[in-house]
Amino acid sequence: MFDSKKPTVQMLGRWQPWHDGHLALFRKCHSITGQVCIMIRDCQGVDDNPFDVETVTQNIIQGLKNHNFHIDEDYIIQIVPNITNISYGRGVGYTFTEHDLGEGIHQISATKIRKEMREKGELKDNFYKEDFYHDFDGDYLRE
């Protein structure tokens, strides 16, 4: 069971869509504390962010379930505003960490994935979450 009092790693992102790079980062984060708070920035329609938070949430849940991670046990999901800056004034009891996950993982690009989806007709400008749920078969979770 997820314990909100236990040290937790935060992952903040758009997750448009969830992919293997996100999965690799999640695994690294989970290995640090055993639980992760995934924060989804509510940014559908801003720039190239076609997916609504419900679709993003379902894709994360399914993507992690495929690798035996379970919501409310290994992680929780929170919807947050379109956070673009994180500020702090002094040492406040947490750190900011960038993980080097290797060149192969760093080359994975949600921008390229969205482009491929558009080229295949899997992503339309007028996007409805039911279209993605129906067509989603894990192609973008290539592990």
Domain count, the chain: 1
Average pLDDT over residues 122-135: 55
Q: In the prediction, which pLDDT does 80 show?
A: 97
In a domain, 96, yes or no: no
pLDDT, tens only, 92-105? 788 888 999 999 99
Average pLDDT over residues 23-34: 97
In a domain, 44, yes or no: yes
In a domain, 92, yes or no: no
In a domain, 18, yes or no: yes
Q: How far, in Å, CA of 117 to CA of 124, rounded? A: 9
Q: What is the CA radius of gyration of the chain?
A: 15
Q: How far, in Å, CA of 63 to CA of 18, rounded? A: 7
pLDDT confidence bin for 12, thresholds 50/70/90: very high
Contact 59, 26 (CB under 8 A): no
pLDDT confidence bin for 135, thresholds 50/70/90: very low
Give residue 78's identity as a one-letter amino acid code.
Q
Q: What is the DSSP letter of 35?
A: -
Give residue 94's identity as a one-letter amino acid code.
Y
Average pLDDT over residues 51-69: 96
More reliable by pLDDT, 87 or 141: 87
Q: In the prediction, which pLDDT does 95 show?
A: 86
Q: How far, in Å, CA of 42 to CA of 50, rounded? A: 11
**Residue 120 maps to which CATH number?**
3.40.50.620
Indicate the burial class of 61 (C-beta count within 10 angstroms; 0-12, 13-18, 19 or more). middle
Long-range contacts of 118-127 (CB under 8 A, 24+ apart): 123/50, 125/50, 127/50, 127/51, 127/52
In a domain, 16, yes or no: yes
Domain region containing 47 = 9-84+104-133
Helix 53-65 / helix 20-33 crossing angle, nearest 10 deg: 70
